[in-house]
Amino acid sequence: MHPDQTLPDTRSIAAGWTLHEYPLVDSTNDTARDLPAWQAVRADVQRTGRGRHDRSWVSDKGGLWLSAVVPVGTSEQGWQALPLAAGCAVCEALASLGLPDLRLRWPNDVMVRDRKVAGLLVDQFHPDRAVVGIGVNVTNHPEASDATLRSSATTLSEWLTTTPALQEVATRILERLRRVAGIMHQDGFAAVVPAVNDWWRPGVSMEIETENGCRRGVFNGIDAKGRLRLLHPDGAIFEWAAHQVFRARELNLSNS
Ligand code: BT5
């Protein structure tokens, strides 16, 4: 723990979660590293919020910076599919608050139209559980820290007449995450694939960067293992796991 981190405010919330709240941490994913399953960390501000592939995540006051510890089975597939299932849980939670025009952008950016409202970063520090990091822009101003986010990011307050409290957003997300994780645990990831596939924009053209170079095609949802299905111009479908894709870009749309 960082020396200036104060003791958290800890309480039980809905769906059997215990939530630890801090004013300031480096990254909630790191603070949650050694917690048991079904515990979560929320911070008002993160000093060094992390995105995927060592990218940074702007985490100013007013946003929801949340990390939830979820048990994963021993199968590699269980944990690889978790970010997709968690993205679906975040979409469901934000839709329940009345956010319009929500969708997922592969692998797990949560978008309102073409602007990113939430991002997910899943870390696995222990073999039996994963830390699902969720960042949601609520009343914060990410563009004040990074001007490039002016056109690519959005916040809940831009779309809702009454902006919900951070605790309310956290509770709704954790409730749905617990439900989705329960379905995955009982019936496997394939059982949540149809729900995940409902959140993509259909027929979007994409370019992906892989270690073997760039590939272009039409996004065709995910398969039962959680891999991206890319339809090539010759009609062949290729599958790509998230860890094989360094960057994904939707063509003819704004991107982050
Ligand atoms: C993500 O990475 O979208 C994962 C973000 C996860 C953040 C949460 S907050 C709680 C937990 N603790 C952490 O330290 N992290 C997690 P990626 O797909 O790599 O997207 C990163 C890119 O999103 C950046 O390069 C920017 O372009 C953009 N970005 C940065 N901050 C943003 C923000 N607040 N809103 C929208 N876009 C942002």
Q: Which residue has the tokens 């149809």?
A: 194
pLDDT at 108: 86
Q: Tokens in use for 251?
A: 């063509």
Residues in the chain: 256
Q: Which residue has the tokens 């952008």?
A: 105
Q: Kindly state if the Cβ of 149 falls inside 6 Å of ligand 1.
A: yes
Give me ligand 1 centre to Cα 188, in Å. 28
Q: How far apart are CA 63 and CA 55, in angstroms?
A: 18
Give me ligand 1 centre to Cα 57, in Å. 4
Look at ligand 1, atom 7, and give the residue with the nearest C-alpha: 135
Which of helix, strand or coil describes residue 102? strand
pLDDT at 120: 97
Look at ligand 1, atom 11, and give the residue with the nearest C-alpha: 133
pLDDT at 202: 86
Q: What is the DSSP letter of 53?
A: G
Q: Kindly state if the Cβ of 83 falls inside 6 Å of ligand 1.
A: no
Q: Kindly state if the Cβ of 115 falls inside 6 Å of ligand 1.
A: no
Q: Tokens in use for 164?
A: 């919900």
Give the neighbor-by-neighbor strand order of the sheet with 213-222: 237-240, 228-231, 213-222, 205-210, 245-250
Positions in the chain whose pLDDT score sits under 50? 1, 3-4, 254-256
pLDDT at 140: 98
Look at ligand 1, atom 30, and give the residue with the nearest C-alpha: 57
Give me ligand 1 centre to Cα 120, in Å. 7
Give the position, in ligand 1's atom list, of the atom nearest the Cα of 64: 9
Give the position, in ligand 1's atom list, of the atom nearest the Cα of 46: 14
pTM for the full model?
0.94
Give me ligand 1 centre to Cα 135, in Å. 7
Q: Which of 48, 57, 110, 134 to mutate to test the pocket of ligand 1 (most atoms within 8 A of CB)?
A: 57
pLDDT at 254: 46
pLDDT at 5: 61
Give me ligand 1 centre to Cα 234, in Å. 35
